[in-house]
Amino acid sequence: MMYGLPFCFLLLFFLADPPLAAPYDGPLYDFSAYTQCKTRAEGPLYNGGILKGARWDIPRVLADGVYSPAFVLRNLTTGTKYCFSSWVKIKGADSAPIRASLMSEKKTINCVGTVTARRGCWSFLKGGFVLDEPLDYSLLFFQNSDERAVDLAITSASLQPFTDQEWSTNQQYIINTERKRAVTIHVANTQGERLQGAEITVDQVSKDFPFGSAIAKTILGNLPYQNWFVKRFNAAVFENELKWYATEPDPGNITYALADQMLEFVRANQIVARGHNIFWEDPKYTPAWVRNLSGPALQSAVNNRIQSLMSKYKDEFVHWDVSNEMLHFDFYEQRLGPDATLHFYETAHESDPLATLFMNDFNVVETCSDVNSTVDAYISRLRELSRGGATMSGIGLEGHFTIPNPPLIRAILDKLATLQLPIWLTEIDISNTLSKETQAVYLEQVLREGFSHPSVNGIMLWTALHSYGCYQMCLTDNNFHNLPAGDVVDKILKEWQTGEIGGQTDDHGSYSFFGFLGEYQVTVRYGNRTANSTFSLCRGDETRHFSIQL
């Protein structure tokens, strides 16, 4: 579905601050996505875009002699966001991972979208790409990622270009409709008479949208670091201090001292915290003594880990990453059987019923080239656990990017949004193989994609500061002077808050504004009278009306 109508779109922009200089007549982004295999395909998004009327059956022969359908594309431009979608059906296999790729004489983009297609029905592929150089002639083609020979049919294909300005305008539309809300404050005296000309001051004191970062033990006792963090963030996640290798380095030697101290800092500053993680499927990060266990001994250790951690921190963490990176590793299921992960989720939910339990993994939004963690692989695994009885209530996307692909990020979020679960970007950073200036550019792209998608409920950076730096990307140096990425975060934080605003009531005794969701303080002055009050601004389509009496 599309969010809103063109009239509402324009109206919101004229009400927003600042208004557009001219009406927007570009394309509206279509958030439609489908995860079920359908007997009949839906029509093309954007009425096909620049593929309207194009044939898909231009054959391209692959190295193994298999023919792949392809579209010929001409005159693609630099920087344009190209949003691609199609419906795919296969023969010759029950299912197959189908990948769409872009190839020209100059370059090849190996993956611009994927879908797990099934025999006898149509599956929806959604993706996209951005070019760093123009292409006069290119091929958009499809192939089976596991290289088996399958027959492909394509229908309802669409390729819709968005200029940078059009993309930004669409992002701002979602921010105005999903992250902000109209407010009208009414001021009257005790007789109910409207007071015109009353001075209004409104101050946003907290933000509804969780935006935070990883922290490490380095924040303990470091007042400059603490002040820097609290000034910016309302959410935190412990980088390593809750992981099993940190809390029980030797069997029975359990310590939560560091985590307890970090939790005290979090509590003292009214910061919400994610629990990361209960188990990590990667053997490399499993305690050495656990790797040597099997059978009943391993099961006993696992049960003790859950009981100890969850009883210790019940109701303390809003989320738990229960079995981290299970799309890429399966240490526990190899040792304990295929129901091991299901048991983890069941036990965690019983131990802390109010915590949101997340499936957390990498290379879901970063790329579509990783066959282990395509969007359909993620959805399939989550549904498998849910069918088994696990409480799967959160979608965790790590987001360790090198070069982000905004149309692909958005398309993947669209498909995940069909599950109607909270989506969090849980570990955002940009590779340190790039310059700090480039890291900042790409970080801004990722953050804007996350904040402007209506199904993303929170964003966490993976930028815990150490004496040696950070995992991949730092926001500051060790003296808390901003690096380019830190400047981007500060710019965006300022942009994504209402701050302090004010004005006078009109002849109806009212003052109206658009505000970001969160908590507000309001002060009204009229003559020698003053009144103070607070109100909450939560998500809703209707104007929030708030009355103050003097």
Taken in order 117, 119, 123, 126, is the CA torsion positive or negative? positive
Q: Is-contact 193 502, C-beta < 8 A?
A: no
Which of 346, 366, 398, 427 is flagged as catalytic? 427
How far apart are alpha carbons 152 and 293 in whole angstroms? 46
Helices and strands, number each (H, E), in the chain:
13, 24
Nearest residue to 517 via CA among 273, 96, 177: 177
**In this structure, what token pair is assigned to residue 415?**
């498909």
Q: Is 147 a catalytic residue?
A: no
CA distances from 418 to 1, 91, 381, 495 (A): 11, 26, 15, 29
Q: Which residues are CB-neighbours of 188 under 8 A, at least 6 positions away? A: 194, 195, 509, 547, 548, 549, 550
**Is the CB of residue 41 less than 8 Å from the CB of residue 87?**
yes
C-beta atoms surrounding 118 within 10 Å: 16
Which 3 state secondary structure label does DSSP give 472?
coil
Catalytic, 325? Answer yes
β-pair type (510-516, 180-188):
antiparallel
Q: Which tokens belong to 300?
A: 């006993």
Query: Reduced to 3 states, what is the DSSP secondary structure of residue 451?
Result: helix
Pseudo-torsion of CA 312, 313, 319, 324, nearest 10°? -30
Q: Active-site residue among 325, 346, 366, 398?
A: 325
How far is 416 from 44, CA to CA, in rounded Å? 20
Distances (CA, A) of 43 to 2, 32, 51, 416: 14, 11, 13, 20
> Buried b / exposed e across 131-150, counting CB within 10 Å, b at 16+?
beeebeebbbbbbbbeeeeb
- How many CB atoms neighbour CB 43 within 10 A? 10
Environment class of residue 191 by beta-carbon count within 10 Å: exposed (0-12), middle (13-18) or buried (19+)?
exposed
DSSP states of 117-131: EEBTSBEEEEEEEE-
Q: How far is CA 58 from CA 72, 161, 217, in A?
A: 8, 22, 58
Q: What is the β-pairing status of strands 151-162 and 500-504?
A: unpaired
Catalytic site positions: 325, 427
